[in-house]
Copies of this chain bind each other. A is one copy, B any other.
Amino acid sequence: MSLAGLFPIDKWNFKTQSILNNLPENESAGLLPYMQEQRYGKGEIIFREGTRASGIYFIKKGKVKKYQVDQAGKEQIIYVANTGELIGYHAILAEEPYPDSAATLEESFIAFIPKENFLNVLENSTELPRRLLKTLSHEFTVLTNSISVFAHRSVRERLAISLIVLREKFKAETPEGKDIFINLSRSDLANIVGTGHENIVRFLSEFKAAGIITTHGRKICVKDIRQLVKISGYGNV
């Protein structure tokens, strides 16, 4: 079933189109030869908040958490980037250190593009800045939306929202017709929702008891998405 009209999934995803795909040939020619693909094991750090940015990263396959760690050592996941998304460009465009850290949530294949090549193409491109402006502006919508949710919604609601959003992300790699499994540690889930892992477990138990989800080990399968939408607070508007 589609979420269209039920849940504003677009307000939770950065990606509208792929930034690098189908660039005019003369522009992609400045990038493709310099892309160095690399395999990252699960949980590997790609870059660290506060460090100098040396390039951007294109996720060819995999999932990456973008997160900040506060002074108390608590991790907050800002966004989960999926296959096809570009990361690391904020630091370079803002001429600032990385505003957040990035680490893989599963085995991933990621291509690195050195800063110089990226900036060089950006200088001489008309399409790339346009796409970046569009993407960055849409990201504003997403982050703004997140702030409202963190400021006002309960943990239970936020978990429901997160499950809906994550389901979409894990949907991409699931064969048509098969069950979609959200495969994340409880801690990662807690750091997305912004609470402790104990609370996550509690509400997952509740959802399980209500028949909304099933769990298979750590993997979560959403069985009644309408119910989740309802809990999320978006359903009954």
**9-residue interface stretch from A102-110, A139-147, A164-172, A221-229:** A139-147
This chain: copies in complex: 2
Q: Interface size class for chain A? A: 35 or more
DSSP majority for the A interface?
helix
- The CA of A90 and the CA of B237, in the complex, are separated in Å by 26
Assembled-state Cα–Cα distance A224/B150 (Å):
29
Residue-wise, chain A 88-100 has the 8 Å CB interface mask toward B (1 for contact) of 0111111110011
- A22 part of interface (Cβ distance < 8 Å): no
- Chain A residues 177-220 with CB under 8 Å of chain B are 194
Asked if B140 and A136 sit within 8 Å, CB to CB, the answer is yes
How far, in angstroms, from A191 to B91 measured CA to CA in the complex? 29
Contacts of A71 in B (CB 8 A): 233-234, 237
Interface, chain A (partner B; CB < 8 A):
68, 70-72, 74, 76, 78, 89-96, 99-100, 129-130, 132-134, 136-141, 143-148, 150-153, 194, 233-234, 237
